[in-house]
Amino acid sequence: MRSNGQAFNPGKQERKSEFRRRKRITLEERSRLETLDVVLRSQSVRNEIRPIVDRVRAELVQKKDALMAWGSIPLNTFDRALPPEIRSAWVFVLRAGADTGAERHPNSHQRMMSFEGSGDLQTGEPGKWQSNVLVSDPDAPLERRWISIPTNVWHRPVINAESDWAVVSFHTVPAKELIEERPDDSREAGTRQKKYLGK
């Protein structure tokens, strides 16, 4: 399902993308990701998230034509203080082998961690994508498990063909306000917007 015809080859891509992310990330942003990482390493939090992942995965199995499924995580799930700008949390399960296409969030900064499986969360814009291969190994460096995507930055998940990819995503707007924007040449603005809740 990859539109650029390239095979998913995490070895060399992982090293290059990790190096680029280390160069780009600020100390302040790294501190935020480290705070979120500590929260998600809590076994009690993971025990709360696991049933949500299982439910979302079951929804994806039922929706044969869907490339992904999602559900919000109540913020009171987290037993430690989240950074104050975090206003919602989500689980996404993306189908194995899928390229879900370009999207961006015009009203939210996204921080995302690979929870199960692996994938390439490409950033940039169509024709100029930069690879960011993420893995779920808890012993891997932060930059190989997390990505920070500022407001209005285009991104595109490309998933390993071997297994679905489950991720946990944090946003800076409440769940009911989170907007997904995708390219749409049929519209005057060139994009279309939808909300994840009530879609």
* Percent above pLDDT 70 for the chain: 85
Mean pLDDT of the region 144-148: 97
The token pair at 9 is: 């080859």
Residue 38 maps to a domain: yes
Give dist(CA 199, CA 190) in Å, integer.
Answer: 20
Residue 132 maps to a domain: yes
Helix 43-62 and helix 27-41: axis angle, to 10°?
90
Give dist(CA 54, CA 23) in Å, integer.
Answer: 35
Residue 97 maps to a domain: yes
Residue 49 maps to a domain: yes
Residue 2 maps to a domain: no
**Contact (CB, 8 A) for 166 and 53:** yes
| Tens digit of each residue's pLDDT (9 = 90 or more) over 109-121 | 999 999 999 999 9
Average pLDDT, the chain: 87
Residue 44 maps to a domain: yes
State the DSSP string of 44-87. HHHHHHHHHHHHHHHHHHH-TT-SEEEEEE-GGG-SSPPPTT--
**How many domains is the chain partitioned into structurally?**
1
Give dist(CA 187, CA 184) in Å, integer.
Answer: 6
Mean pLDDT of the region 150-175: 96
Selected residue with higher pLDDT from 84 and 184: 84
- State residue 164's pLDDT score: 97
Residue 18 maps to a domain: yes
- State residue 1's pLDDT score: 40
| Tens digit of each residue's pLDDT (9 = 90 or more) over 35-85 | 999 999 999 999 999 999 999 999 999 999 999 999 999 999 996 789 999
- State residue 140's pLDDT score: 96
- pLDDT of residue 153 exceeding 90, the answer is yes
- pLDDT of residue 8 exceeding 70, the answer is no
- State residue 16's pLDDT score: 54
- What residues make up the domain containing 98? 10-195
b vs e for 98-136, b when ≥16 Cβ sit within 10 Å of the residue's Cβ?
Answer: bbbebbbbeebbbbbbbbebbbbbbbeeeeebbbbbbbb
Residue 115 maps to a domain: yes
The CATH number of the domain holding residue 113 is 2.60.120.10
